[in-house]
Structure 1
């Protein structure tokens, strides 16, 4: 059985990924079920997706998964590994003694319990003695009340996740209140729009991105850039020798790589190498998101017969978070990197096919199933194909991100 999933990161106070919230849909028959989303998530997960392997989506991070009343009553969460999941009780459940008893039993088996969209009302009181995590929606709960409740919850050893954090100012505000974890899109936006000073290394990285974006790769120029930093040569060869791509041949030089892998693949590696180094000092999730976007946009653009050299779909996704990494506006950055006009247009938010591909992967990031459906209809792509691409992109991004860790550590 194939799985269709979106994941939303949950960050700690250091802006590192602590966990992912997973949202599932039935892609074969009813990708957008006409039933409450929280009920669909839990029922589809437990009935059809247990064979996926949650670790394929989250790596070594815990998975927060929503469960509705029926699945809790029948103890469906116990089919999962208690060491890598957090059971979210959705806010729409009907609460009675039977449900409280079921959840207490699940907690007794070692499963952490989280209350989703906690509204501070007394109806949740019976759950508090065995709840590990409480999630507060900052758009629904008065901020003064959040400030009052956080110390009380922490005193009772309950972790607090604040949701819908859209800006760095909001992140800083609730961090100061003592919240443990944060969910929202603040990481994908610059903290402040300012110029990040580029030293020699940063300028080298921009040169590499520019080289990878030309119609014909200037091998001598790339060699000259990489020779300034022997560690870059090592890392590039490490990428290319990744068993995901190269199972039989050991690549010994950039020239050998160009001959063996072809210009398009080498260009992708060069761009990835450069961006991984430009993101140094920024939250690792930014690079992870950029990698997933790059692979997804590449797969979709190839399906739509956009077979450019350089691979513009890949570049669009890979560079889509460059403004957050560099803490500058995308318009300013596009003046510094000589990439093709369609890629620049997409990154600036101007409508074209590449922009649509980028928005499609953003729909997955926010579990906007209707947006995915609109994209599928517009380009006559099966929704199952898009979900397959996204799953493949997540796995690829995780593997590539691990390959860059040595350079960034």
Structure 2
């Protein structure tokens, strides 16, 4: 995980609802400042779109120069004044990227010496054009970022062409590998999840945890965490299970699945953050739609967390669900996006693919009885929660 791109999206379901890119970028900066840039991007970089008005403005200096990359939009008219401003900001320590490059244009030539990163829109190029363009920029000593990577084939091609960074929804999709199997620890976690789903007695769950020493130690650490509010030290698994309760144990196991994968796959940490955010968002939606129904909220959380298991394990979701005794509404939501949980999951996925899925937002919001403003507030709350729990668990 190298960086996040920070984009302005209005709470409504229409377009950005701003008059120009200056307003949009100002909104991005304002929201990032409100949440705290460290909370938004952690130790990664933040890519932010800028046009001529933004570059010439004073408020751009509110951005921490060593933590952001300024993406110069492809629509910017490159004048002598703009080049001079980019040079000035470069001397001040800002890093620049050229956005949505699809050809070797005059604008690109003027700004190429000042940019460190070239973002190539691979969806607009033929394989031959991509090879030629990437070769030119590599020879110029630039870092290449492939954007709109939507398939494994595209990813492999860009990798072979020497691209340094990759961006696109492909990275939350699975690559199915024939003969792949779950590790013993993953199987143990999933068996425990199945026990919880079947309402097994805590004594039987305790016996299962005792068969995996690492699970037992992890559970005790969780029970004794300062955030748990426990005043006395928990020293037995039985105590830990009683203190935490079934709902918390279920969440712990779901998160552990993603953390376990992190030992062998560097992509697991971003997947954990995305899955946790989805789970919490669906839970909050359920609480808003049906206040006081904790069972519905718990099921919604499970659907969100489990929705990325195929990407995590590189296995078809159908095969994973064969090892879990999940309820029919969960299975229907995950496999067919059916029912209320399926609608909520669809809505969460639309948010992640907002540029292509925007037309679906209004019907889904209406179907679920949520307003755009409510969704925006729930998104922020879900993000803050997932950001808080993802890093320490994945570490």
Q: TM-score, normalised by structure 2?
A: 0.89
Are 1:44 and 2:27 an aligned pair? yes
Are 1:133 and 2:123 an aligned pair? no
Contact persistence 1:293–1:393 (CA under 8 A): yes
Are 1:304 and 2:289 an aligned pair? yes
Structure 1 SS opposite 2:8: strand
Partner in structure 1 of residue 321 of structure 2: 334
Aligned-residue RMSD, C-alpha: 2.6
Structure 1 portions without partners, runs of 5+: 1-16
Larger RCO, structure (CA 8 Å, separation 6 or more): 1
> How big is the shift at 1:208?
1.6
> How big is the shift at 1:160?
0.6
Are 1:289 and 2:278 an aligned pair? no
Partner in structure 1 of residue 371 of structure 2: 382
- C-alpha distance in 2, partners of 1:353/1:390? 18
Are 1:146 and 2:130 an aligned pair? yes
Map 1:255-404 to 2 at 5 A. Answer: 255-277=238-260, 280-282=263-265, 283-284=267-268, 285-305=270-290, 306-308=293-295, 311-368=298-355, 371-404=360-393
Structure 2 SS opposite 1:116: strand
- Alignment coverage as a number of residue pairs: 388
> How big is the shift at 1:218?
2.5
> How big is the shift at 1:290?
1.3
Partner in structure 1 of residue 156 of structure 2: 172
Structure 1 SS opposite 2:101: coil
- C-alpha distance in 1, partners of 2:359/2:21? 15
Contact persistence 2:203–2:238 (CA under 8 A): no
Structure 2 portions without partners, runs of 5+: none
Contact persistence 2:47–2:69 (CA under 8 A): yes
- C-alpha distance in 2, partners of 1:156/1:150? 10
Alpha-carbon displacement from aligned partner over 1:226-276 (angstroms, at most 9, x marks no partner): 101221112123334444453756444443344334332222223322443
Contact persistence 1:342–1:354 (CA under 8 A): yes
Alpha-carbon displacement from aligned partner over 1:167-226 (angstroms, at most 9, x marks no partner): 122111110000010011222222235342234333212202212323x35212221121
- C-alpha distance in 1, partners of 2:196/2:334? 17
Are 1:60 and 2:49 an aligned pair? no
Indicate the structure with greater helix content: 2
